[in-house]
Amino acid sequence: MKTASAVLGRELRLALRSGGGAGLGLSFFLIVVLLVPFGTGPDPERLRAIAPGTLWLAALLACQLSLDRLFQTDYEDGTLDILSLSPLPLEGLVALKALAHWLTTGLPLVIVAPVLAITLNLPGDAFAWLMASLALGTPGLSFLGAIGGAVTVGLRRGGLLLSVLVLPLYIPTLIFGARAVASAAEGTDPMPALTLLAGLTLFILALAPFAAAAALRINLR
């Protein structure tokens, strides 16, 4: 427990200090969503129709921006070598790092999403569902991203490869997350999509630490 809080505390501190990149995902999310009306035109009806998909797609891209640093810095400065000799299992390390990634990247998106939803003319009824779907979906994005980060850890310029690997894995989360918001905006029941999204995230949370730890073990050799 003490080990877990030490790792989590360190990850948060590193992300929030200068150069940690915690604000990067959030700024990216803001800019992408604010750019969309310039591309599609300011027609409120059209914006309302594309709002759920746009918000979710922007959140998804923002979540994978800082993934390449998840294990790369620890690999480059020798920290992963020492961590692999420590009593903390690699699976636990992966879970803690993914959790810290979500707290510094995913959680801020959940909080600012309603503000951006206003700019895309999303109906007010759907705001709570937007936040709920992002809160349930984005942890899965961070944990799936940890697999990609672990697979590409030894590679120079692995960031682009990581996006290519990880973004297809995000498709189910994107479908159910955007569907839940769209249902709420259309006045239909968003619960089926939201329940499936929650189940999907639980599945990812259970599986990803083991997959990422296995990839790390191979890459550390």
Partner 1 sequence: MRLDVSDLACQRSGRPVLEGVSFTLDGGEALGLRGPNGSGKSTLLRVLAGLLPRSRGAVTLDGIPLGRDHDAYAERIAYAGHLDAIKPQLTVAENLAFWGALFGSPDIAPALAAFDLGAIAARPAHACSAGQKRRLGLARLALAPNRPLWLLDEPTVSLDGPACALLFSAIRAHCARGGAAIIATHVPLDVGSARDLTLAPVVAASPGTAGHHDPFLEGLAP
Residues lying near partner 1 in the complex (CB under 8 A) are found at: 2-3, 5-7, 10, 13-14, 17-20, 76-79, 81-88, 220-221
- Tally the C-alpha atoms within 13 A of residue 165's C-alpha that lie toward its C-beta: 17
Q: How far is the CB of 77 from partner 1 (least distance, A)?
A: 6
Count the residues in the chain: 221
Least distance in Å: CB of 220 to partner 1?
A: 7
175 in Cβ contact with 158 (< 8 Å): no
The residue whose two tokens read 């310039």 is 38
For residue 102, CA distances in Å to 8, 15, 123, 144 come to: 11, 11, 27, 11
In the structure encoding, which two tokens stand for residue 186, read together?
A: 């259309």
Of the pair 76, 189, the CB lying nearest partner 1 is at 76
Q: Looking at beta carbons only, is 12 or 112 nearer to partner 1? A: 12
Q: At its nearest, how many Å lie between partner 1 and the CB of residue 102?
A: 20
Q: What six digits make up the tokens of 117?
A: 């939803």
Q: How far apart are CA 14 and CA 9, in angstroms?
A: 9
Return the number of the residue (6 or 160) whose C-beta is nearest partner 1.
6
Closest separation between CB of residue 22 and partner 1, Å? 12
| Residue whose CB is less far from partner 1, 81 or 125 | 81
DSSP structure class, residue 88: S
- Least separation, in Å, of the C-beta of 68 and partner 1? 17
The phi, psi pair for 201, rounded to 5°, reads -65, -40
Q: How far is the CB of 127 from partner 1 (least distance, A)?
A: 36
Cα dihedral across residues 109, 111, 115, 117: positive or negative: positive
φ, ψ (nearest 5 deg) of residue 123? -60, 145
Residue nearer to partner 1 on the CB measure, 6 or 207: 6
Nearer to partner 1, 19 or 42 (CB): 19
